[in-house]
Amino acid sequence: MSQITGISSITGLGSIRNLGVELADVTPNAVNWTNVAAPGGSTNTVTITGINTAINLSISWTGYPGTGAFDVYKNDSPISLPDEGSPYTLSVSNNDEVYFYASSSVVGTISVTVTNASDGNVELDTFRIDVGE
């Protein structure tokens, strides 16, 4: 979904004549993080594309098994998620790379959902971190 900023005129059904104002595109192209099935494992790296302004991703989880169970990486820099307090907001821009890493101490199942907080909390992906003892 695009958000209109500034003044534009609309003619006909969905035809927009832009009056020199850029439309903010806050809907990224499809994303798909893989499930994690091993302690110390990570999802695939997803490159955020298709947006022309920064957006906020809302990361929520259930089944959190304890301190430091998983982290999110943005452009290869770790961001420690709080032990409690789901959801967490992560700001991303076009071409940012994001992946999730399960610590070697993880035992159990975590279900992670990523939504686009900048676009009505549309769900982008759900994946699992599912590791045994």
DSSP string for 96-107: -EEEEEE-TT--
Quote the CA–CA distance of 64 and 42 in Å, as a whole number: 16
pTM above 0.75, yes or no: yes
pLDDT of res. 40:
84
The top-level CATH class assigned to 28-131 is mainly beta
Residue that wins the pLDDT comparison between 7 and 128: 128
d(CA 77, CA 29): 22
| Among 23, 26, 51, CA closest to 116 | 26
Q: Record the tokens describing residue 97, joined without a space.
A: 């790379």
In the structure, what pLDDT confidence band is assigned to residue 123 with cuts at 50, 70 and 90? very high
Measured CA angle at 95 (ends 83, 2), to 5 deg: 90
Cβ neighbours for 43, distance < 8 A, ≥ 6 positions apart: 33, 34, 35, 36, 99, 100, 101, 127
Query: Can you tell me the distance from the alpha carbon of 50 to that of 38, in angstroms, rounded to the nearest whole number?
Result: 31
